[in-house]
């Protein structure tokens, strides 16, 4: 049978070079707008789940004077406020203060809007050392829609930590991952490591074949990273979404946002978020249409 929904929500082409060209022509996401991409995706997803847990491995603002670039702030303040649990990690004391102030400024729960009682927990210190303790203190139900953002600058996130998050759930859908891969400057940063270079890169990449990774570039390197998420973590859907340098600065790919999920609607919603992140938010009628279309897609998939 035909599946018209695929025309309503076009997925990224399999050829990554073609995909990048289409993304850039359609509505490119610049580096200063990557936080908006995350917020927009989670906005769409809560239209389906009506709940969720958000984990941010590096939750402080990378540019404190630009709150519009702060992912944790945009996600927490996004409406409708149906995400329930927020687990935030930060090691920089000055940024911890900003996180606490931002959390303290949030409005009270509005029962008339069916908002849940929210829990925001801030972990001081290195995410790589605290992630296991966090899961022990905050067991996440198997059916809880959960999202984890790894917005590292370069080599801050150990591969073992990604593995811990990806493998936390033992049944059902795994925790969705948003992993920022620093394409634009990774080779320069690796060359600049002076102390225990090989040990640091092996911790970050998880294996000793980081040289092979660095020998690649562009779409081939993005695919190499995605292949590991599929083969090692067993995610069903893994796509690299390019984040560009501003056009007046060259317009090259600076990050790939690797999105990994087991949810059949996740790639559709992320592709839509990429195209709509900088647009005006949809009306309630348009969101109803979105939910109806995704429900129809579910029924179609169950038949086929």
Measured CA to CA in angstroms, residue 20 lies from 15, 212, 243, 246 at distances of 9, 23, 10, 15
User: Does residue 236 contact residue 229 with C-beta atoms inside 8 Å?
Assistant: no
CA–CA distance, 70 with 76 (Å, rounded to integer)? 10
Domains in the chain: ranges and CATH: 5-303 (3.40.50)
Element (H, E) at 85: strand 85-90
Read off φ and ψ for residue 3, nearest 5 degrees: -130, 80
Lowest mean pLDDT of 28-32, 98-102, 183-187, 260-264, name the range.
28-32
Lowest mean pLDDT of 81-85, 123-127, 286-290, name the range.
286-290
What is the model's pLDDT at position 186? Answer: 96
Helix axes 159-166, 127-137, angle to 10 degrees: 20
pLDDT in tens, 56-97: 999 999 899 999 999 999 999 999 999 999 999 999 999 999
Helix axes 34-49, 266-276, angle to 10 degrees: 130
For the residues of 136-197, what is the DSSP string, one character each?
A: HHSPPPTTS-EEEEE--SSS-S-HHHHHHHHTS-SSSSPPEEEEEE-TTTHHHHHHH--SSH
Q: Is the pLDDT of residue 136 over 90?
A: yes
Query: What is the pLDDT confidence band of residue 9, given thresholds at 50, 70 and 90?
Result: very low
Query: What is the pLDDT confidence band of residue 4, given thresholds at 50, 70 and 90?
Result: very low
pLDDT in tens, 238-274: 999 999 987 666 678 999 999 999 998 899 899 889 8
CA–CA distance, 267 with 236 (Å, rounded to integer)? 10
CA–CA distance, 12 with 278 (Å, rounded to integer)? 18
pLDDT in tens, 160-201: 999 999 999 988 899 999 999 999 999 999 999 988 999 999
Q: Is the pLDDT of residue 121 over 90?
A: yes
User: Does residue 43 contact residue 272 with C-beta atoms inside 8 Å?
Assistant: no
Q: Is the pLDDT of residue 145 over 70?
A: yes
Measured CA to CA in angstroms, residue 222 lies from 2, 123, 129, 238, 254 at distances of 31, 30, 27, 11, 12
Lowest mean pLDDT of 29-33, 145-149, 201-205, name the range.
29-33
CA–CA distance, 180 with 259 (Å, rounded to integer)? 9
CA–CA distance, 16 with 60 (Å, rounded to integer)? 31
Kindly give the residue spans of alpha helices, DSSP state H, lying in 11-113: 16-26, 34-49, 71-77, 93-104
Lowest mean pLDDT of 2-6, 201-205, 246-250, 289-293, name the range.
2-6
CA–CA distance, 183 with 266 (Å, rounded to integer)? 23
User: Does residue 282 contact residue 41 with C-beta atoms inside 8 Å?
Assistant: no
Q: Is the pLDDT of residue 2 over 50?
A: no
For the residues of 238-279, what is the DSSP string, one character each?
A: EEEEEEEPPGGGT--EEEEEEEEES-TTHHHHHHHHHHHTTS
Q: Is the pLDDT of residue 232 over 90?
A: yes
pLDDT in tens, 200-219: 999 999 999 999 999 998 88
34 CB-near residues (< 8 Å, 6+ apart):
69, 71, 151, 180, 243, 255, 257
Report the Cα 107 to chain-centroid distance in Å.
25
Structure tokens at 184: 């634009």
């Amino acid at each position: 049978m035909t599946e018209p929904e695929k025309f309503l929500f076009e997925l990224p082409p399999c050829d990554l070079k073609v995909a990048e060209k289409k993304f850039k022509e359609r509505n490119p996401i610049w580096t200063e707008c990557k936080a908006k991409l995350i917020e927009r995706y989670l906005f769409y997803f809560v239209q389906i789940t009506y709940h969720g847990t958000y984990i941010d491995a590096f939750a402080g603002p990378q540019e404190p004077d630009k709150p519009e670039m702060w992912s944790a702030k945009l996600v927490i303040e996004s409406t409708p406020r149906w995400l329930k649990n927020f687990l935030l990690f930060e090691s920089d004391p000055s940024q911890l203060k900003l996180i606490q102030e931002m959390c303290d400024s949030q409005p009270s729960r509005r029962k008339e809007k069916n908002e849940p009682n929210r829990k925001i927990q801030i972990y001081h210190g290195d995410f790589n050392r605290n992630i296991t303790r966090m899961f022990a203190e905050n067991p996440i139900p198997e059916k809880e829609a959960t999202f984890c953002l790894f917005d590292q600058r370069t080599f801050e996130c150990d591969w073992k930590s990604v593995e811990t998050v990806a493998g936390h759930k033992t049944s059902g859908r795994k925790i969705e991952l948003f992993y920022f891969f620093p394409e634009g400057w990774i080779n320069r940063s690796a060359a600049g490591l002076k102390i225990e270079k090989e040990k640091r890169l092996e911790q970050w990449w998880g294996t000793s074949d980081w040289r092979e990774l660095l020998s690649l570039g562009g779409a081939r390197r993005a695919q190499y990273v995605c292949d590991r998420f599929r083969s090692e973590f067993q995610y069903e859907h893994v796509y690299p979404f390019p984040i560009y340098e501003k056009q007046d600065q060259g317009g090259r790919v600076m990050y790939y946002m690797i999105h990994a999920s087991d949810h059949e609607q996740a790639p559709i919603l992320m592709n839509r978020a990429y195209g709509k992140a900088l647009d005006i938010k949809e009306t309630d009628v348009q969101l109803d249409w979105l939910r109806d279309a995704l429900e129809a897609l579910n029924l179609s998939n169950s038949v086929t």
